Structure 1
Amino acid sequence: MALDFTPTDEQRMLVETVRTFMEKEIYPHERETERLGEVPLELGEQIKKRSKEYGLYAANMPAEVGGGGLDFLSVAMMDREIGKSTWGLCGWIGRPSEILNACEGEQRERYLLPTVRGERKEGFGLTEPNAGSDAMGIQTRAVRDGDDWIINGSKHFISAVRKPDYIILFVVTGQDETPRGLRKRITCFLVDVGTPGFEITRGPRPVSHRTYHNYQLSFSDVRVNKRQIMGEEGKGFDLAGSWLANTRLLVAANCCGKAERALQIATQWAATRKQFGQTIGKFQGVSFKLADMATELAAADLLTLHVAWKYMNGSMTNGDAAMAKVFASEMAQRVTDHAIQILGGMGLMDELPLEMLWRDTRIERIWDGTSEIQRHIISRELLRPHET
């Protein structure tokens, strides 16, 4: 089947709208918030308000629940532009976790719809101190007590622009016998902040996305009702797996945006900065770097668009999403690093956003699955058909 990734008129308009929003509402606040290490609440609320006015808030969610109803390819194009700045600011634009579409009954009124409207904010509670990349290694547990479940355990590195109102929490609720031995039953709960026994505190300050908060969660005999299970008991890992494949692709789109902005800064500098009587872009040591940066970015863009197209058509595999994430995230690291090399010492000064892009890009090879995990997924998918 022939592939054509030429943007539609609607997609071009969307990209231009997001670019305008970024230039007016995000870029002007980068340097000050980076120095503060915080996005003041009033600024965050202002960004959210303006995002709603632009029609960008919850654009990834279905129209029937109040979202923008964008197709996934358009969401990827939007995220590419959003990726050009830091998540401490851009997180306020509003992209609710699509896993919330699994909410049913009263969960929709209590969690899904208020989140789409921007009235509540979720946190995604999967990672634990002893279970980062090994999601099946989580130890937080819930034990049934009549119609309730009692939760004990902890989570960390739970990212959000501000303190969440509730957590999409993954816990162990039992074990199943499988041909390969015992396997944990993972269940997804919706747990409100403020529930007795549930404590949430700020985690350490990160180097990447330094204004994007991370939280530590502690559960001590936290009682929740069975109505707070999202999906089915024991099927939480299936929910998480489908959601992570989606977000890995959006990480790839973010990385392409970061790389493009870094390339633009480096190209402008190379075309105007003079050394030894000529612009430095005329030296092969610089011009060849620019050529490699542009080539890698073009390849990552095409891979990301291809996989987004496959996702829309229901043919994307976990390996496809892993390829996009590992290639785009490592490409972005190389491009931002080369850009700093081209600018020299100026590239590390905080007058320019380049050092921020360089720092922020480092986490992209870790969160939503490390580069090593992505390679494991890809190789496992390649080898599985040959197993006997």
Structure 2
Amino acid sequence: MQFGLTEEQQMIVETTRSFVENELYPHEMEVERTGHLRMDLIKQVQAKAMQAGLYAANMPAEVGGAGLDTLSWLLYEKELGKANYALHWTCVARPSNILLAGTEEQRQKYLYPCIRGEKWDCLAMTEPGAGSDLRGMKASARQDGDDWVLNGTKHFISHADLADFAICFMASGEEDTPRGRKKLITAFFVDKGTPGFTVRDGYRNVSHRGYTNAILEFDNCRLPKSQILGEVHKGFEVANAWLGATRLQVAATCLGRAERALAHAVQYAAERQQFGQAIGKFQGISFKLADMAMELKAAELLTWEAAWKFDQGTVTEADMSMAKLKATEVLAFIADEAIQIHGGMGLMDDLPLERIWRDARVERIWEGTSEIQRHIISRQMLRAFGA
């Protein structure tokens, strides 16, 4: 593993950083104070992202993306992650990789329009009674001739209000396992406007203002079999094959915000004077800075190693869980310490610190809670002993 960046990777970092600072930062205050991302602003920034070659950069070159290797992609995600989440996720969209699992006909209808910025997608798994335990989902799909009929509710579905379609995972049957009967899952494309499919406003969230969640309701929603993504009853296989790196994406965006918070803390500690000297000279502050820098470096190394191993085909679930767990918890630590160093000013919205602090809270919950990540890590350790 090489620790230095290639010229191409350095160019990706510099290009993305410049775009974030010049095109995203100026709009953060509006989104934070209104909690709303205007469609005209989305289109304006989206056009600039396309011009800069940053739109849908997570996708392979053969379908119109940038064709980045995993490490280069995460370096790009880290820079984008420094900005307000709604701005970078919506205006510089990265369509879900699961769209690549579709047939050519499905790619024409869903994947390519997302890459061109003509459509947005959303992913619907979570239910009021089934979060981490996806096998416990109650939303169902029942076959009726050549059609499938969907019923049930999904919630916490990110930006579903904006999305043109949802990729929905539904319980479509049961199978016998050593631990008893378990649900079989099938994935479906569901277009907005399909009879029986309703998108309702979700919950007000303390994190990521402007980045909305929604409740999806299915009431005898009838779909032709052509809307199945992958194979019947193979929804888990589709998800596992195409969504594996999403935890690394979360880790990378957290690294970006942690780096931004640390930069503010260092600058303030160097400039703020108390008792005739910079507060960074006091051990109480200097030790905080040292610990923040060390923890950030540790989280970066775990994330970059997992990215490198992903491209080598040697990454494990535990590798990705360690990266996600460490990066999300380090972000919370650095955001909190940065505010402590700033004192009262750290809580004012003149600075991005109070936003970074608020936004950090959701990262330890979505894409698998910290507890789930620890379970995955320990499970891999115990398997070596047959436990």
TM-score normalised by the chain length of structure 2? 0.98
2:197 corresponds to which residue? 198
1:30 corresponds to which residue? 28
Pair 1:13 & 2:11 matched: yes
Secondary structure in 1 aligned to 2:341?
helix
Secondary structure in 1 aligned to 2:384?
helix
1:247 corresponds to which residue? 246
Deviations along 1:40-65, one digit per CA (max 9) or x if unpaired, are 11111111111100000011101111
Identical amino acids, percent of aligned pairs: 55
Deviations along 1:110-129, one digit per CA (max 9) or x if unpaired, are 11111111111111000111
Deviations along 1:90-123, one digit per CA (max 9) or x if unpaired, are 1120111011110113101111111111111111
CA 1:25–1:36 in 2, change beyond 3 Å: closer, same or farther?
same
CA displacement at 1:242 relative to structure 2:
3.7
More divergent stretch after superposition (156-165 vs 263-272): 156-165
Secondary structure in 2 aligned to 1:188?
strand
CA displacement at 1:382 relative to structure 2:
1.1
CA distance in 1, matches of 2:171, 2:344: 50
CA displacement at 1:161 relative to structure 2:
7.8
2:269 corresponds to which residue? 270
Q: Give the letter for the 1:144 counterpart.
A: Q
CA displacement at 1:162 relative to structure 2:
5.0
CA displacement at 1:335 relative to structure 2:
0.5
2:126 corresponds to which residue? 127
Q: Give the letter for the 1:258 counterpart.
A: R
2:306 corresponds to which residue? 307
Q: Give the letter for the 1:182 counterpart.
A: R
1:352 corresponds to which residue? 351
Q: Give the letter for the 2:70 counterpart.
A: F
CA distance in 2, matches of 1:290, 1:150: 56
CA distance in 2, matches of 1:136, 1:320: 24
CA distance in 2, matches of 1:8, 1:93: 24
- Ranges in structure 1 where 5+ consecutive residues have no aligned partner: none
What aligned pairs does 1:137-156 form with structure 2 within 5 A after superposition? 137-156=136-155
TM-score normalised by the chain length of structure 1? 0.98
CA distance in 2, matches of 1:244, 1:346: 40
CA distance in 1, matches of 2:161, 2:189: 18
Q: RMSD of aligned C-alpha atoms?
A: 1.1
CA distance in 2, matches of 1:239, 1:375: 24
CA displacement at 1:71 relative to structure 2:
1.1
- Contact 1:244–1:368 (CA<8 Å) still a contact in 2? no
CA distance in 1, matches of 2:11, 2:232: 42
CA 1:215–1:150 in 2, change beyond 3 Å: closer, same or farther?
same
CA distance in 1, matches of 2:171, 2:364: 27
Q: Give the letter for the 1:338 counterpart.
A: E
Pair 1:60 & 2:55 matched: no
Q: Give the letter for the 2:48 counterpart.
A: R
Deviations along 1:214-258, one digit per CA (max 9) or x if unpaired, are 111000000011111111111111222344431101111111111
CA distance in 2, matches of 1:283, 1:41: 47
Q: Give the letter for the 1:307 counterpart.
A: A
CA distance in 2, matches of 1:205, 1:47: 25
Secondary structure in 1 aligned to 2:143?
strand
CA distance in 2, matches of 1:116, 1:40: 21
CA distance in 2, matches of 1:111, 1:17: 28
Deviations along 1:121-163, one digit per CA (max 9) or x if unpaired, are 1110001111112122111000001111000000011012852
CA displacement at 1:348 relative to structure 2:
0.4
- Contact 1:86–1:360 (CA<8 Å) still a contact in 2? no
2:231 corresponds to which residue? 232
CA distance in 2, matches of 1:136, 1:282: 54
CA distance in 2, matches of 1:300, 1:31: 28
- Contact 1:161–1:212 (CA<8 Å) still a contact in 2? no
Q: Give the letter for the 1:107 counterpart.
A: Q
- Contact 1:85–1:357 (CA<8 Å) still a contact in 2? no
CA displacement at 1:76 relative to structure 2:
0.5
CA distance in 2, matches of 1:94, 1:5: 28
CA distance in 1, matches of 2:313, 2:161: 34
What aligned pairs does 1:48-197 form with structure 2 within 5 A after superposition? 48-91=46-89, 92-160=91-159, 162-197=161-196
